[in-house]
Amino acid sequence: MRAATAFGADTALTVGTNALLAAEGMVSGIMAARLLGPKGRGELAAIQAFSGFIAAVAILGMTEAVVYYCARNPQRSGRYIGSAATIALLACVPVLLGAYLAMPILLAAQSASVVGAARWYLLIGPVYALVAVPAHSLRGRGDFLAWNGVRLAPNLVWIVVLMAAWFVSVRSAAIVAAAYVVGQGLLLFPVLYVVAKRVNGPFRPSPRDWGAMVRYGLPCALTSLPQLLNLRLDQIAMAALLPARQLGTYAVAVAWSGAAAPLLGALGATLLPAIASRADRGASARRFSEGARLASLLALSTCALLMALTPFAVVVLFGQAYRAAIPAALVLVPAGSILALNSVLEEGLRGLGHPYPVLYAELTGLVMMVVGLTLTLGPFGIMGGAVSSLIGYSTVSVALLVNARRLIGVSPAALLWPRIEELQVGLRRVESLVRALAAPAD
């Protein structure tokens, strides 16, 4: 496949992996919804939403930094891994301590047991630092086979945890969440084994790299703050204001609406190192433009398909108890497609070495989402959260396109409207990939 087209092969591999991830996510989502019921599913969302958000932000963007620097200088990957993991662990301590103390306020509408479980779930932060940072170095080095293999493990662990809960008849969201953290921590050993086999050491932290890595990672982390808030603020606000049952219904709508994310996420994942590794600025800009146009086409296609399936799929997959999630899901499906498109645009801008425009776009979208939630969550409940998400994600798209035009001189229409010749080339590449896959069998 790589002989036909390296970028296409990496993207195809990542698309295939994301399809498996989507299948894993759908299976785990259905299992959690049916295992815990609307109230328990809402408690699980309350435990995971804020604590997971804080843990992801606390590592100061070191996953993005290790991707970028390993792509720029693969020979020093070991030191970059050691430095990024050290920075992430040090940054976790004060952030997670503050979140621990604030948890009773942040989850004011939830029970004391849910608050306690959310506090324990904060341990996912050090797990991210020790597992996710080394794993993402593989993406930076262009080792997409190993990286995609590692990515399948966390969701698989989640499915195993839910299966174990089914077998022993555990219906407690707190216990299930705690078991998930333990399972993710155990992934440290196989991940470090794979990285050590494929990345040359030494893995000692190099303090002279810390400044550059923090300067790149910090805006990515600051971007992650509004980005993750844009992604989870609706659920965080509901966890503080609405009963667990309504939050559980909304969580199912969110789970279904994210079905478009794996496909476009694969494109964004391969786009950043493909752009960052090119020395010629013009070639990098062209690759970004091509990726954006392909993402636009995929986002529109998946949105139309999911909209048609939503009224039936939600009930069939999650059960009659979640029928009330359908109206919110119909709003969140286009919102999720726009969110997935944004992820490609953001990875492209980061690959060009411009993390700050991504930050500004996410901050703008966050402001719009906060305004929307303030005005709509009280009177309209979960539907207000869905509409606010759509407004926030759309605002981010507009801001990203404006910044892309300023930085590379390409209009929004040129970034979003696929060209006929590109579609023809794409079809020929797909044909080449199919032939390459079929060749060994011949």
- For residue 239, tell me if it sits in a domain: yes
d(Cα 411, Cα 401) in Å, to the nearest integer?
Answer: 8
In which domain, by residue range, is 146 found? Answer: 6-441
- For residue 433, tell me if it sits in a domain: yes
Indicate the angle between helix axes 382-408 and 244-257, nearest 10 degrees. 40
- For residue 70, tell me if it sits in a domain: yes
Reading the block at residue 85, the tokens are: 């993991």
Reading the block at residue 146, the tokens are: 């190993």
Reading the block at residue 261, the tokens are: 């994310």
- For residue 1, tell me if it sits in a domain: no
Whether omega for the bond prior to residue 202 falls within 30 degrees of 0, making it cis, is yes
Split into its structural domains, the chain has a count of 1
d(Cα 157, Cα 188) in Å, to the nearest integer?
Answer: 12
DSSP string, 215-243: HHHHHHHHHHHHHHHHHHHHHHHHHHHS-
Give every CB contact of residue 392 below 8 A, 6+ residues apart in sequence: 230, 233, 365, 366, 368, 369, 372
- For residue 197, tell me if it sits in a domain: yes
Q: Return the DSSP state at 132.
A: I
Whose tokens are 């790299």? That residue is 209
pLDDT score for 156 = 92
pLDDT score for 418 = 72
- For residue 88, tell me if it sits in a domain: yes
Q: Return the DSSP state at 7.
A: H
Coil vs helix vs strand at 278? coil
pLDDT tens for the chain, 442 residues long, are 555 555 667 767 777 787 788 788 888 888 998 898 888 888 898 888 777 777 777 888 888 888 888 888 888 889 999 999 999 999 888 988 998 998 888 888 788 888 899 999 999 889 988 998 899 888 888 888 888 889 889 989 999 999 999 999 888 999 999 999 999 999 999 999 999 988 877 888 888 889 888 888 887 777 666 666 656 677 777 777 777 788 888 888 888 887 666 666 666 666 666 676 666 777 777 778 777 888 888 888 888 888 899 998 888 888 888 888 899 999 999 988 888 888 888 888 877 777 788 888 888 888 898 898 888 888 888 898 889 989 989 999 999 999 888 888 878 887 887 776 666 665 566 566 566 656 654 4
- For residue 31, tell me if it sits in a domain: yes
- For residue 419, tell me if it sits in a domain: yes
* Closest to 31 measured CA to CA, from 182, 222, 125, 165: 165
